[in-house]
Structure 1
Amino acid sequence: MVRLVVKDFGPFGEAEVELKPLTVFIGRNSVGKSMLAYLIWALTLAIPRPTRLEKAIVDAGGNKALEAVIEKAKRGDDFKEELMELMNIAIYVLPKALAPSVEEALKKVFTFDLDELVREGANHATITLKGERTSIETTINGKNVDVSIKGPSIDEFISEIKTSQREVTISYDKSRFTISVPLTRTSRFSIIELLYTFVSVYIMLTLGGPFKHLIPLPLPVGLFPFLELFSALLPDSRAGISRTLLRPYIPIAITYPDKQYVELYYALAEWVAKESIDLAAVKPLLLEMGCSVEPVIEEGVYTIHIKTWSGKRLRLPQAPSGIREVLTVAIALSSRGPPHVVIIEEPEAHLHPRAQGALARLIAKAVNRGKHVVLTTHSDYMLYRLNDLIALSRSPERARALGFAEDEVLRPESVAAYLVKAEGDRAVVEKLDVGPEGFSEDEFASVAVELAEERARILSS
């Protein structure tokens, strides 16, 4: 279980959110739903860079331990004790190495100065991730970011280390998997790369929850610069971005979230071509949208063409708005690998209610296959459909009789739902109980009653 706790962040005085396999934020416009979703995405991207980790180790006096590991490794001697000392130093300096990465992620994701993330009238903001074994607290004070970490020691975390001239094998306590690191070149770079992989795994495994899913297995050293592919934000206005930006090598300045969306699209298009996407899972939604997909190489990269129900073949930027809006969402949810954390703003945008129902079933499939999904939504249809899928978990036989596959049903314990609303001069987050029939629909029901009452007044006049 991972909990996100914020204080004086954005419009929030204090809010706490538990991140479950499916986390849903509902509420009116401009109350902070997307801000929480973007924050979750930013935190999944905040992994320290190898150069920052090396500098922090050297600044802390770890250069001697680093050179000792390198020399012993070159001679073929066992360097387990020296490596343990070096890893202890790496964990000690981790907050210092992590702080600039958190700062960078927040700036890129929110696209404005850090002090604008602090609630009006407050001196500073805190963002805390409370994980299974580790707690990471980020403090934003003016334009500065400080990070503190409370987690297990090396002795508590590592169960075994074996070293040789060619390989380091580290077994991690409680995770039940082993990482083997080949030292093809025993150099300063290879040892720093090893430490970088180690601290990244330490953060993710001890936090747990969705962060654990950022670790691909088997785990090759040097992969972490590409972590942005393992956590994806599907921002609002996907249809507009698809129409204007999905052209190979388009020379235009765009915001980081939109840039990452474009890069994700090309990665997903390649995965479709290489059959890393479960297109059978996407097919019901595509049928509802009246289209099929075909990967095509254009200007040296994969892109996606659409064949509509009328037989017309189109590039995705030329497709109808609903298809442009939902296609990347559907492919990301149905990928057999990354992205493992999928964050979607308004998945219902431009979709007919029946299409929203098909998308809800695809979301359930993704959750049941191990992805973590975060949604912000204004749609009563999406909410009702998710609740239907939760209610069906009470009776698998009835679900099958109604045409629902086992992996299209949501277990209540896999879902967290929150109502985000304004109270006075701040936003608050209210946790909604998720039971056998789903979670509260009162927010949308009250709006429906208001509209019905207004219509009655109009018709009676």
Structure 2
Amino acid sequence: MNEQLIVKNFGPIKDATVDFKRVTVFIGPTGGGKSTLAKLAAILRKGQINKEGFFDANLSFADVSMENYIQPDTNIDWTNSKGVGINIGNPETMNFDNLLQPQTHGYNIPNNEFNDFIINKSEVDIEKVKADISSKLQKGGIVDIDDSDLEKTIISVKNELEKKVVDLFYKKNIFPLETYYIPSERIFVAAIRKSWAGFINNDIGLPKTLSSFANIYFQAREIINILRISFLGIDFFRDNEQDLIVTNELFPLKISETASGIQSTTPMLVVLEYLSRQKEITHSFIVEEPELNLYPTAQQGLMNWLVEKCTKGENDLTITTHSPYILSHINLLLYAYQVVENHPDRADDVAKVVPRESWINPKEFACYHVEGQKENGIYSIVNPETGLISYNMLDAIAGAESSEFEKLLDINAGLEVE
């Protein structure tokens, strides 16, 4: 998987070029632009296309509360894994006027290929076209068309089914990824329990990323009604329309009664387990601050889980984080892959230390420090020679406190401090 995002003068991002891989990580100070880059990736992967075949940018930006990030000199370029490019520039023409800009190896947009497909087929046999469309819709998990009226013309069939077929065509050929954004506000979902219908009915105005996540969670918990979360030492289960957690205690607790780390993590893991079982669909997972409310050792267990569940098949994972523990553990997952690559006969021994499903291929990994307001503030922190996150950067992220402590030691010893 190779995707590239170039952003100039958008919200907190002054100038950034980011290459997305199978696993992509953003770390940096609060307000530096990590979530901005992650949300842009989510918007552009979704590929929202309006009825005229244009990319609807304003609607997408509003969905993630970034409509006010647009500046007169904003420019955004995106090239997806299919080689299709999207360019967003002049804000005066952002609404319905941003054609997808395909690369030479991309696709023509709007729907020329689709229209040609319909026209060419219709000249041969209308029933054959209907059967062909039916087959494609079935493969896409969409209900088949009604064949009762054999007198329908190809035009009426096209008008009736155009939206479904176009969606299927785009998902397969242009925007193949189903993208899921898991927001940092996810702990809210554990607290609302049965009140969700009230929030929806009263149009409370929750962030779209949160309401979308909550809707998926409430679907997922009906299917994943038992889930063992070993790195937290808990089991999630659903009983009598309640989300319950079993710990070492003798009695279950409502999820809203548990520790904050359990509340922020469990709904996310239920959703990921549910989606990871949909093997026929390629998913793109974007997770904000997975480490929320978790002890460092639990953060490590969570990263094992995320890599295992979110990189199966052609799936990919993007995270934003503030945690140096996350980065240190990712280096472990990268190094495990390298050890086995160098010594295939030692794979079983490595798997005893690091779960096999969590190894990360360094060629499929990217990590960026994001401080978007600064000149050259967004840059890769992966050492190209080792394929690991730079230890100098890890020291810089984790070592600020140590530096201050050393200054206090000097002051205590009566030494001059610069």
Using the TM superposition, give the Cα deviation of residue 393 of structure 1 relative to its aligned residue in structure 2, in angstroms: 0.6
- Give the aligned partner of residue 132 of structure 2: 169
Using the TM superposition, give the Cα deviation of residue 375 of structure 1 relative to its aligned residue in structure 2, in angstroms: 0.1
Using the TM superposition, give the Cα deviation of residue 272 of structure 1 relative to its aligned residue in structure 2, in angstroms: 0.2
Amino acid at match of 1:266: F
Alpha-carbon distance in 1 for matches of 2:231, 2:10: 40
Amino acid at match of 1:431: S
Q: Does 1:332 align with 2:268?
A: no
Amino acid at match of 1:108: D
- Give the aligned partner of residue 409 of structure 1: 359
Alpha carbons 1:348, 1:377 under 8 Å: kept = yes
Amino acid at match of 1:129: T
Q: Out of 308, 320, 339, which is 1:376 matched to?
A: 320
Amino acid at match of 2:251: K
Amino acid at match of 2:380: K
SS in 2 for 1:418: strand
Change (3 A) 1:17 1:457: closer
SS in 2 for 1:152: coil
Change (3 A) 1:21 1:437: closer
Change (3 A) 1:178 1:143: closer
Using the TM superposition, give the Cα deviation of residue 458 of structure 1 relative to its aligned residue in structure 2, in angstroms: 2.1
Change (3 A) 1:444 1:241: farther
What is the correspondence of 1:57-456 to structure 2 with a 5 Å cutoff? Answer: 94-95=53-54, 98-99=55-56, 102-110=57-65, 114=67, 116-119=68-71, 122-139=72-89, 141-142=91-92, 144-145=94-95, 146-149=97-100, 150=102, 151-153=106-108, 164-165=126-127, 167-169=130-132, 182-184=144-146, 186=152, 190-192=157-159, 194-207=161-174, 211-214=175-178, 231-244=179-192, 247-251=195-199, 253=204, 254-273=206-225, 279=227, 283=228, 286-298=229-241, 304-335=243-274, 336-337=277-278, 340-370=283-313, 371-396=315-340, 398=346, 400-402=348-350, 403=352, 404-422=354-372, 424=374, 428-433=377-382, 437-456=387-406
Amino acid at match of 2:8: K
Amino acid at match of 1:323: I
- Give the aligned partner of residue 90 of structure 1: none
Change (3 A) 1:137 1:158: farther
Q: Does 1:31 align with 2:32?
A: yes
- The two structures have a TM-score, normalised by structure 1, of 0.71
CA RMSD of aligned residues (A): 3.4
Change (3 A) 1:203 1:17: farther
Change (3 A) 1:429 1:453: closer
Using the TM superposition, give the Cα deviation of residue 257 of structure 1 relative to its aligned residue in structure 2, in angstroms: 1.9
SS in 2 for 1:136: strand
Change (3 A) 1:297 1:131: same
SS in 2 for 1:311: coil
Using the TM superposition, give the Cα deviation of residue 163 of structure 1 relative to its aligned residue in structure 2, in angstroms: 5.4
Measured against aligned partners, the alpha-carbon deviations of 1:18-69 in whole angstroms (never above 9, x if no partner) come to: 2222111111111000111122222344433xxx52xx4xxxxxxxxxxxxx
Alpha carbons 1:25, 1:376 under 8 Å: kept = yes
Using the TM superposition, give the Cα deviation of residue 344 of structure 1 relative to its aligned residue in structure 2, in angstroms: 0.8
- Give the aligned partner of residue 73 of structure 1: none
SS in 2 for 1:270: helix
SS in 2 for 1:250: helix
Which sections of structure 2, spanning at least 5 residues, go unmatched? 413-418
- Give the aligned partner of residue 7 of structure 1: 8
Q: Report which of the two has the higher share of strand.
A: 1
Change (3 A) 1:17 1:390: same
Change (3 A) 1:314 1:180: closer
Using the TM superposition, give the Cα deviation of residue 384 of structure 1 relative to its aligned residue in structure 2, in angstroms: 0.8
Amino acid at match of 1:417: C
Measured against aligned partners, the alpha-carbon deviations of 1:374-421 in whole angstroms (never above 9, x if no partner) come to: 100111111111111111012335453242332221111221211112
SS in 1 for 2:238: strand
Alpha carbons 2:5, 2:76 under 8 Å: kept = no
Alpha-carbon distance in 2 for matches of 1:235, 1:384: 23
Alpha-carbon distance in 1 for matches of 2:160, 2:19: 32
- The two structures have a TM-score, normalised by structure 2, of 0.77
- Give the aligned partner of residue 41 of structure 1: 42
SS in 2 for 1:237: helix
Q: Percent identity?
A: 21
Which sections of structure 1, spanning at least 5 residues, go unmatched? 57-93, 172-176, 215-230
Alpha carbons 1:24, 1:377 under 8 Å: kept = yes
Alpha-carbon distance in 1 for matches of 2:287, 2:236: 21
Using the TM superposition, give the Cα deviation of residue 15 of structure 1 relative to its aligned residue in structure 2, in angstroms: 1.8
- Give the aligned partner of residue 415 of structure 2: none
